[in-house]
Chains A and B, each alone.
Chain A
Amino acid sequence: DIQMIQSPSTLSASVGDRVTITCRASQSISSWLAWYQQKPGKAPNLLIYKASSLESGVPSRFSGSESGTEFTLTISSLQPDDFATYYCQQYIAYPITFGQGTRLEIK
């Protein structure tokens, strides 16, 4: 199985900050990676697909990048609505696997 190692597990930041979340795959997944945002009691919401493609309707402050097996989600200027949990997901091979999640908290 492909392991997705996500870091940090918790991140404290302030409105206006630039934040970065990282996900490392245990083997090559090409660009077959997605990022989701989840708020308490709600279903996840797609932010980024194919490593760097912004889903329609998602604010442009969200961006994704990749370097080999390391993938990054960047929020350029945190807004109050962005405090949530973020997950990466690989979908190149079964079983589909997720990172363990990053909880983004208000500092």
Chain B
Amino acid sequence: EVQLLESGGGLVQPGGSLRLSCAASGFTFSTYCMTWFRQAPGKGLEWVSDIHGNAGISGRASNPFYADSVKGRFTISRDNSKNTLFLQMNSLRDEDTAVYYCAKRRAFNGYDVDYWGQGTLVTVSS
């Protein structure tokens, strides 16, 4: 059974930093694209960042991808030895307040989301 368990959310002041984690189990983590989405209170879904899985002869993943709204402030990474996805969030703004979802994509390089975590709430406020 695929499970994705986010942690690390909480209250942070504007300009502060937070690191989210997502512990994955039930599938071969290294071979799938992983994604962070977010949803501001009462709003729709927003894609944040992708990191591809290992594929091909080289076994190396491509560079990560970011939404313009977080580029230069957020960094996605993964530790395939620990089946864990991360999102380092720096220079946080009020508008970053949202539930952040970790998600597994159907293939190594993307496609639809076949599994979602339960989400972790990040609140940016002074």
Contacts and interface: CB of A to CB of B under 8 A. Distances in A.
Interface of A: 32, 34, 36, 38, 42-46, 49-50, 55, 87, 89, 91, 94-101
B27 interface: no
Q: Counting chain B CB atoms within 10 Å of each CB, which of A42, A98, A99 scores highest?
A: A98
Contacts of B44: 87, 98-101
Contacts of B35: 96
Interface of B: 35, 44-47, 50, 65, 67-68, 101, 106, 110-114, 116-119
Nearest to A85: B44
Given A43-B101, A43-B119, A49-B106, A96 B47 contact: yes
A96 to B, nearest CB: 4
A43 B47 contact: no
Secondary structure at the B interface, as helix, strand, loop or mixed, is strand
A38 to B, nearest CB: 8
Contacts of A43: 101, 116-119
Contacts of A42: 118
22 contacts: A34-B113, A36-B45, A38-B45, A43-B101, A43-B116, A46-B112, A46-B114, A49-B111, A49-B114, A55-B114, A87-B45, A89-B113, A94-B65, A95-B47, A95-B65, A95-B67, A95-B68, A96-B35, A96-B47, A97-B47, A99-B44, A100-B44
B111 A91 contact: yes
B114 A91 contact: no
B42 to A, nearest CB: 10
A50 B107 CA distance: 13
A76 B47 CA distance: 30
Contacts of B119: 43
Given A95-B47, A95-B68, 5 more contacts: A43-B116, A44-B116, A89-B113, A96-B47, A98-B45
Given A43-B118, A49-B106, A98 B112 contact: no
B112 A49 contact: yes
Contacts of B114: 46, 49, 55
Given A87-B45, A95-B68, A98-B46, A50 B112 contact: yes
